[in-house]
Amino acid sequence: MVVDVLWLLAGDWLVTVKTGRDRNMSSSVTVAVRAYGTRSVSELVVLGGGEDGVHFCPNAEDEFKVESKDDYE
């Protein structure tokens, strides 16, 4: 599993979770992100997996737009 994070604008992030092609590459783990800046740290943002029943399927790319009220430089 690969997780890419792209900063869009102040407080907006695009997070992409990619899984491998093999049929055994799915995952039900909990995927979460946290923004670290020079002045502060964001709360933990859960993207999916684990107890909420969202699973990352093999050979898939899932995108999440994460919005924050703060700007983590």
Q: How far, in Å, are 10, 23, 55, 57 from residue 60 at the CA level?
A: 28, 11, 11, 6
**pLDDT for 31-47, tens place per residue?**
888 877 777 777 888 88
pLDDT tens readout for residues 7-36: 777 778 888 888 888 877 777 777 888 877
Ordered by start, the domain boundaries in the chain are 2-67
Q: What does the buried/exposed string (b/e) look like for 21-60 if buried means 16 or more CB atoms within 10 Å of the residue's CB?
A: eeeeeebeeebebebeeeeeebeebebbbeeeeeebeeee
Residue with tokens 């899932």, as numbered in its chain: 62
Q: Return the pLDDT at 43.
A: 82
- Provide the whole-model pTM: 0.65
> Stretch 48-56: mean pLDDT, rounded?
64
Q: Which residue has the higher pLDDT, 18 or 1?
A: 18
Local structure of 52: helix, strand or coil: helix
Distance CA(57)–CA(37), nearest Å, equals 32
